[in-house]
Amino acid sequence: MTRRVLVTGGGSGIGRAVARAFAAAGDRVTITGRRLAALEETAEGFDMACRAADVTDEAQVQALFDAPYHVVIANAGGGVAGKLRGVSLADWNATLAVNMTGTFLLFREALRGMGTGGRLIAMASTASLKGGATVPAYAAAKHGVLGLVRSVALDVAGKGITCNAVCPGFVDTDLAEAAISAVQKRFDLTRAAALAEVVSDNPMGRLIAPDEVVAAVTFLASPGASMVNGHALSVSGGEI
């Protein structure tokens, strides 16, 4: 069966790698994000639909569901780093909006048309499973995403649908690059030293490749994962 797959934040990083993997496997993929040009770059050479939408906007998320999807991946996310005393209300609200509200809106709409065999997958983080002194808003939002996933999983368990979270450590994307630059500036380090600091929580001592996250997502979307529900799959080299 050709599945319809929706990936948010498909214009870069993990979302781009995930979308291309599903498309290469023959699924009908729709990618969404705020910048159409970035989406079109992801789709280059692949048979993919591109739809501009901000995941924090209820009407724009609703408009994505003109037909039901079999696999819905809430990947859009991010947040600013900094200790709690320096977090503005605007940054706090924006971090909760893209990670938590975005996942809520997407999964709520997805469930309205999703049938047996459906898969809801959230791109959470190791920050869903532990705190971080310099990422209080992000960790709070990603803990919230996991709470939503675990609750939805119980709701859909009787309908042949699963809802799971993938929890990566630092993955080699723009988001990790921003974290490395911030550490480099803050502590006046070389890039190599800042990278070593960023990956120091990962026992494997390196950034995770986007394809290593893709493998977890494709597993959770596979028929073989039909009994995996409400799970937080850590892709972190043993950090968790």
Would you say 117 or 134 has its CB closer to ligand NAD? 134
Rounded Cα distance, 50 and 72, in Å: 15
Would you say 60 or 117 has its CB closer to ligand NAD? 60
Rounded Cα distance, 35 and 117, in Å: 31
Q: In the complex, what is the shortest distance from the CB of residue 26 to ligand NAD, in angstroms, rounded to a whole number?
A: 23
Q: In the complex, what is the shortest distance from the CB of residue 240 to ligand NAD, in angstroms, rounded to a whole number?
A: 11
Rounded Cα distance, 160 and 153, in Å: 10
138: annotated active-site residue: yes
Q: In the complex, what is the shortest distance from the CB of residue 2 to ligand NAD, in angstroms, rounded to a whole number?
A: 25
Rounded Cα distance, 25 and 2, in Å: 10
| Cβ neighbours for 82, distance < 8 A, ≥ 6 positions apart | 91, 134
Contact set with ligand NAD (CB under 6 A): 8-9, 11-15, 33-34, 54-56, 75-78, 98, 123, 125, 168, 170-171, 173-176
Rounded Cα distance, 17 and 184, in Å: 27
Beta-strand runs (E) in 19-168: 28-33, 48-52, 71-74, 119-123, 162-168
User: Is residue 183 within 8 Å of residue 189, measured between CB atoms?
Assistant: yes
Q: In the complex, what is the shortest distance from the CB of residue 184 to ligand NAD, in angstroms, rounded to a whole number?
A: 16
Rounded Cα distance, 133 and 151, in Å: 27
Would you say 107 or 170 has its CB closer to ligand NAD? 170
Q: Which of 169, 138, 28, 12 minimizes the C-alpha distance to 75? A: 12
Would you say 51 or 117 has its CB closer to ligand NAD? 51
Would you say 7 or 114 has its CB closer to ligand NAD? 7
Q: In the complex, what is the shortest distance from the CB of residue 47 to ligand NAD, in angstroms, rounded to a whole number?
A: 20
Catalytic residue among 22, 69, 107, 138: 138
Rounded Cα distance, 226 and 2, in Å: 17
Residues labelled as active-site residues: 138
